[in-house]
C-alpha cells in the first residue's frame, strides 16, 4: 500500500464512520419509547346499551383512565372509581401485589347487570367486580373461541370445518354440515390460516353473520383459484421459517373474488344472493375471513359495503335476502383512492349517512333514498375555522399545517344535528420544544340515527 492509498483511507474513515446508521437514535423512535410522549389520545369509543352514552380509554402522563361520556348533556367523568377498583382487585387476590389506579391490569372489559358490574381478564383469569360495592370475585365465565359464531337466541353455533359451514347446538350435540362443496382456495367463511395465525395459534373469526331472528346465516365464499402464491420467511430464529400465502400482484388478471350466500337453518339449504365481485389486493388473504355484511333488523334484507380494486370507489348496497334484488344506497369515489368507507343506513327509505373527503375535508353526508347527496353535516366552514383558530396560535410553525385541535366552542350543524367538543387542548412540550401531548379532539354528532336498517 503506497502513501497515497494510506492518505486516502485516512480521509475516508471519518466520512464512512459518520455515514453509519445510528441504531440507538432509531430505537428511540420505536413505539414503546414514543408512546409515553403522547397523552390524552383516544383510539376508539364503546357505546353503552342505552345508545346514548359511551366510554373510552385515554392515556394520561402517568398511565391511563376510563372515561364515561354523555354527549347529549356534554359531560364526562371517570367510568368508575379507579382507586377503589384497584384496591378491590388486590384484596380479592389476597397477595402482596398491588395495582396503581392509573395502571389497572386490563384494557378491555364487559359491563354487566345494567352497567353496575364489570368483567375483565387478568393473566388468563376472569374477574367480576360490583361497581356499587367494589367487591370482586373470580368469574366462572369461559369465552367461546373466535372461530365459533353463536346465534342471537343462543341456541346454535356456526363454525367452519374443512372449508365448509357447520352447525351445532350451543348446549352440545351432533354437528351438521350446512355446505359440502367448499374446498381449498374456494371456501366458505375462512380459508387457510395466515402466518400470523399459525405463529400465534390464534383462532380465525370466519365471515359468518347471523340474522337477528336466528333463522339464517350470511356467509362469504371466497374464490382464490388461479391466483399465484407469495413466499414469506420469518427470521426470528436462527433457521428461517418459510410460509406461502395466496397473493395477487399488481397487473395480475386474476385476483380474489367473493360471493355472498344465505343459508336457511330450517331447510339446511344455501343460495347465492350476490354476484362474484373482486376484492382489493392486499396481504389480508382469505385466511382472515371477509366481511359479508350486516342484516336488517327484520331479517329480510342485509347491507354490505364494497371497495373497487385500487380503492377508487366505495359503495354500500342493500339486498333483499329472498330475491337478491340489490340497490346502491351511497358511494364515495376519488381520482387517487378512497381514504375510508364509513356508512350508516337509516331505517326504511330515510337515506344513508356516509363519511367522505369528496370536498377535500372529511365530513358526514346524508344520501337520500335514491342514492344522491341530500345535505352535508356538520356546518363544515364554521367547524373548520374554529379548529384552525383554536390550534394555530399554540403550535410551532412547522406543525401548524399538520395538526388539528378542538373547536373553542360547540358549533351547531345543519339539519337538526349538533356537534359537541368533548376534549380540549392540553399544553406541555418536550425538551425539543414540540408538544408533548398532542391536541386531541372528539366531535360527537347528535342526531336521530337508529340502528342500521
Specify the DSSP element, H or E, that contains 91: helix 82-93
337-359 average pLDDT score: 77
pLDDT in tens, 249-301: 888 888 888 999 999 999 999 999 988 887 654 433 333 334 578 898 899 99
Rounded average pLDDT over 6-25? 62
From the centroid of its chain, how far is CA 27? 28
The H or E element that residue 200 is part of is helix 195-200
pLDDT of residue 57: 92
Give the per-residue pLDDT at 3.
53
Task: Work out whether strand 313-320 and strand 342-345 pair parallel, antiparallel, or are unpaired.
Answer: unpaired
Residues 345-350: what's their mean pLDDT?
77
Tell me, what's the pLDDT at 343?
Answer: 80
Query: Given pLDDT bands bounded at 50, 70 and 90, which one contains residue 157?
Result: very high
Rounded CA-CA distance 4/417 in Å is 79
Cell of 373: 347527496
78 and 65 Cβ atoms separated by less than 8 Å = yes
Peptide bond into 43 cis (omega under 30): no
Q: What is the pLDDT of residues 160-171, one digit of tens each?
A: 999 999 999 999
Percentage, residues of the chain above pLDDT 70: 75
Q: Which residue has the higher pLDDT, 184 or 384?
A: 184
| Cβ contacts of 163-170, under 8 Å, gap ≥ 24 | 163/187, 163/188, 163/191, 164/188, 165/189, 165/208, 165/217, 165/219, 165/263, 165/270, 167/265
pTM above 0.75, yes or no: no
pLDDT at 285 (0 to 100): 35
- Contact yes or no for 384/441 (Cβ under 8 A): no
Amino acid at each position: 500500500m503506497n502513501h497515497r492509498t494510506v492518505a486516502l483511507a485516512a480521509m475516508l474513515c471519518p466520512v464512512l464512520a459518520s455515514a453509519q446508521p445510528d441504531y440507538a437514535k432509531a430505537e428511540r423512535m420505536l413505539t414503546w419509547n414514543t408512546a409515553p410522549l403522547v397523552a390524552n389520545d383516544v383510539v376508539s369509543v364503546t357505546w353503552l346499551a342505552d345508545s346514548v352514552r359511551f366510554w373510552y380509554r385515554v392515556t394520561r402522563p402517568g398511565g391511563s383512565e376510563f372515561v364515561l361520556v354523555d354527549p347529549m348533556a356534554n359531560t364526562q367523568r371517570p367510568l368508575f372509581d379507579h382507586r377503589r377498583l384497584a384496591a378491590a382487585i388486590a384484596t380479592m387476590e389476597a397477595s402482596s401485589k398491588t395495582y396503581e389506579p392509573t395502571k389497572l391490569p386490563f384494557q378491555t372489559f364487559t359491563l354487566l347487570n345494567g352497567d353496575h358490574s364489570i368483567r375483565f381478564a387478568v393473566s388468563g383469569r376472569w374477574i367480576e367486580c360490583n361497581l356499587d360495592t367494589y367487591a370482586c370475585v373470580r368469574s366462572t365465565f369461559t369465552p367461546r373461541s373466535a372461530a365459533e359464531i353463536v346465534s342471537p337466541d343462543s341456541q346454535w353455533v356456526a363454525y367452519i370445518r374443512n372449508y365448509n359451514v357447520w352447525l351445532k347446538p350451543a348446549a352440545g350435540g351432533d354437528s351438521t354440515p350446512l355446505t359440502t362443496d367448499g374446498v381449498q382456495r374456494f371456501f366458505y367463511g375462512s380459508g387457510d390460516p395466515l402466518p400470523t395465525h399459525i405463529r400465534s395459534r390464534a383462532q380465525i373469526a370466519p365471515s359468518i353473520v347471523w340474522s337477528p331472528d336466528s333463522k339464517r346465516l350470511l356467509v362469504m365464499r371466497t374464490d382464490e383459484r388461479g391466483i399465484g402464491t407469495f413466499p414469506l420467511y420469518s427470521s426470528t430464529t436462527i433457521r428461517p421459517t418459510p410460509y406461502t400465502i395466496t397473493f395477487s400482484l399488481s397487473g395480475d388478471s386474476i385476483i380474489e373474488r367473493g360471493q355472498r350466500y344465505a343459508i336457511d337453518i330450517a331447510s339446511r339449504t344455501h343460495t347465492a344472493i350476490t354476484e362474484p365481485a373482486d376484492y382489493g389486493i392486499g396481504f389480508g388473504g382469505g385466511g382472515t375471513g371477509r366481511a359479508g355484511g350486516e342484516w336488517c333488523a327484520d331479517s329480510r334484507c342485509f347491507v354490505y359495503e364494497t371497495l373497487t380494486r385500487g380503492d377508487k370507489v366505495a359503495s354500500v348496497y342493500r339486498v333483499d335476502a329472498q330475491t337478491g334484488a340489490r340497490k346502491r344506497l351511497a358511494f364515495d369515489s376519488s381520482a387517487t383512492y378512497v381514504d375510508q368507507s364509513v356508512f350508516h343506513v337509516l331505517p326504511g327509505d330515510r337515506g344513508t349517512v356516509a363519511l367522505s373527503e369528496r370536498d377535500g375535508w372529511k365530513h358526514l353526508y346524508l344520501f337520500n333514498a335514491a342514492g344522491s347527496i341530500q345535505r352535508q353535516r356538520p356546518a363544515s366552514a364554521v367547524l373548520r375555522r374554529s379548529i384552525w383558530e383554536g390550534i394555530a396560535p399554540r403550535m410551532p410553525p412547522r406543525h401548524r399545517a399538520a395538526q388539528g385541535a378542538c373547536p373553542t366552542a360547540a358549533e351547531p350543524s345543519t339539519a337538526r344535528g349538533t356537534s359537541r367538543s368533548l376534549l380540549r387542548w392540553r399544553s406541555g412540550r418536550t425538551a425539543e420544544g414540540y408538544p408533548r401531548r398532542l391536541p386531541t379532539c372528539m366531535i360527537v354528532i347528535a342526531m336521530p340515527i337508529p340502528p342500521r336498517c
